[in-house]
Structures are given as C-alpha cells and as structure tokens.
Amino acid sequence: MASTLRNLSTYNPNDIRNAEDKIFGIVVSEWNSEITNALLDGALEALEKANVQSKNVHIKYVPGSFELPFGAQQLIDNVKPHAVISLGCVIQGETRHFDFICQSVADGIMNLGLRHRIPVVFGVLTTNDLKQAQERSGGKHGNKGFEAGITALKLI
C-alpha cells in the first residue's frame, strides 16, 4: 500500500504560485462531516499558503458525496471559479452501494472538468473504515483535503 510509505500531504512550495487573484469553489459533502470538515480545513490551509483571498473562496455544502458533481456544477455556473475542489468521504459498508457511489462521483467530477475545461479536483476519500478516513483527513497519512488544494493550485 503506497500510503504506508509516506505522508501524502507533502509538496514542494516552489511548485505553487501566488494565487491571490484566483477564484476557487469548494464543494463539501455533509455526510461523514467529522472527516469532510477536516478535509475542508486542509483545503483552506493550502489555498491560504498561496495567498488566495477568503472572499475568493466559495464553499457549497451538499448532503452526500453522490451530490458533489451537482454542487460543483452549481459553483461553475454561478461563481465561475478557476478551479473547484470536491471533498467527500465514502466508507465501505456491507453492500455494493459503496461501489456505485464511488464510481458515479469519480465519473461525474472527471466529466465536469473535461466539459468545462477547468480543474475539478477529486478530494474524495474512499476507505474501508473510519480509521483509514481519519488517517487521511489530518492523521498519520496527512490531509487529502490539503492535497486536493495543492492539486487545484498546481492546475490553474
């Protein structure tokens, strides 16, 4: 497992340019809010490091991860951001629901970016259990929300 080898939130600050004039959308799932709020904190920290002004960060909450593509579409239509960061957490259960949700969300996010020709970043945890999600939302494997923020900054 690659994530056991290092903290996933490391990056080279020289790869990030000043983005104080850029507009970002962040769409956040309310489901598993303990995790998604930590991911949001990480994304905001990454944007702050690039001098993004708080007035240029537009946050939209949606009920669950399945609704992330729709929320991202609303941000694209209404805010006209330079990039959108999608944050969610889907934890494996006893049924195939996990597979359908994860695939649909990944496809939806990817298709939005391609259709609108802006970065729509996949910051969705797809874990086997709550402990893995905690480890990736500020725990020993860093914060995937921070990583998603860095990804958006690299792509704009």
Q: Is 58 a catalytic residue?
A: no
Distance from the Cα of residue 89 to its chain's centroid: 10
Please pick, among 58, 97, 116, 141, the residue that the annotation labels catalytic. Answer: 97
Triad 124, 129, 133: Cα angle to 5°: 40
Give the tokens for residue 66: 């399945």
DSSP type of residue 94 = S
Question: Would you tell me how many other CB atoms lie within 10 Å of the CB of residue 18?
Answer: 10
Catalytic positions are 97
